Amino acid sequence: MRQRERWKPSKYVMRKGALRPNSDHRELAVSSRLIARLITDKYQPAIRKYARGLLLDLGCGKVPFHEAYREYVADSICADWPSSTHGSEHVDVFCDLSRSLPFACASFDTIISSDVIEHLPDPLLAFSEMSRLLKPGGILLLNTPFLYMLHEIPYDYYRFTRYAIQRLLDATGMEPVQLEEVGGAGAVVLDLLSKALTSLPLLGKPLSIATQAVGGALVGAPRTGAAQTPALARFPIGYFLVARKHAGPSGPEAQ
């Protein structure tokens, strides 16, 4: 990571060993704190369990997960668009993430790509490239929104179901280790309500914070496997994925 010594927390911060949303509204919108907490609840244990070796932070922005993964990996490479609005101080490689990526096959042990694939016009190419870059047995950590507002317009192209994600994995030589819904119907309603409230003059932000604080305690508990409710499975605010590249010769580089 370029200028590692100048890195500082942005979207997420570490508090008493736990990865949490930043309460600084300059780094994370007030109305996005709930979904940010749901995402960090997924990422921290997955990073601890799977991140290793050389990591590619793809679509890195301000590298918000750096503090979470730095002790588990040997080194990290940060890549992002030259035109990214999320900062460029720590970017090692500027490239068009929607095209073939400028790295050799099987270069990385781990790839992390947060809130990126919905902004790529060719998702099959994106998954093919991530598979190509992973070593056999390498790990992809990824999240993407589903029942969520349009953002970064006009570069917001897709919403993926778990079935679309599975098809992309099948087509590119990867298998899911963990593919889970994030949030549920309650989280979706709270997220939309808090975003609507922030547009109100004067009381908008305090009302949004209060809504998420009260409602978030009810909907924020992570549920997995058999504990998932029908509402969670049918109305996710997003998806979280841990995928492993097949150890055998499969995927784009085997063709």
What is the distance between the alpha carbons of residues 174 and 241, in angstroms, rounded to a whole number? Answer: 11
For β-strands 108-114 and 54-58, DSSP reports them as parallel
pLDDT, one tens digit per residue, over 77-134 is 999 999 777 778 899 999 999 999 999 999 999 999 999 999 999 999 999 999 999 9
Comparison of pLDDT for 169 and 247, the residue scoring more: 169
In the predicted structure, residue 255 carries a pLDDT above the cut 90: no
pLDDT of residue 226: 41
pLDDT of residue 225: 44
pLDDT of residue 229: 67
Q: What percent of the chain has pLDDT over 70?
A: 91
pLDDT, mean over the chain: 90
What is the distance between the alpha carbons of residues 1 and 198, in angstroms, rounded to a whole number? Answer: 35
pLDDT of residue 149: 94
What is the distance between the alpha carbons of residues 9 and 203, in angstroms, rounded to a whole number? Answer: 28
pLDDT of residue 223: 47
Q: pTM of the full predicted structure? A: 0.91
Residue ranges and CATH numbers for the domains of the chain are: 4-184+238-254 (3.40.50.150)
Q: Given 3-state DSSP classes, what are the helix, strand and coil percentages for the chain, each rounded to the nearest 5?
A: 35, 20, 40
The SS3 of residue 53 is coil
pLDDT, one tens digit per residue, over 179-233 is 999 998 888 999 999 999 998 988 888 998 888 887 766 665 444 444 456 767 7
Once rounded to an integer, what is the mean pLDDT over residues 165-175?
A: 98
pLDDT of residue 252: 46
Helix (H) or strand (E) holding 39: helix 33-50
Once rounded to an integer, what is the mean pLDDT over residues 126-148?
A: 98
What is the distance between the alpha carbons of residues 10 and 215, in angstroms, rounded to a whole number? Answer: 24
In the predicted structure, residue 73 carries a pLDDT above the cut 80: yes
Once rounded to an integer, what is the mean pLDDT over residues 64-86?
A: 93
Instruction: Return the exposure string of 177-211: e unless at least 16 CB atoms fall within 10 Å of the residue's CB, then b.
Output: ebbbbbbbbbbbbbbebbbebbeeeeebbebbbeb
Once rounded to an integer, what is the mean pLDDT over residues 18-24?
A: 94
In the predicted structure, residue 38 carries a pLDDT above the cut 80: yes
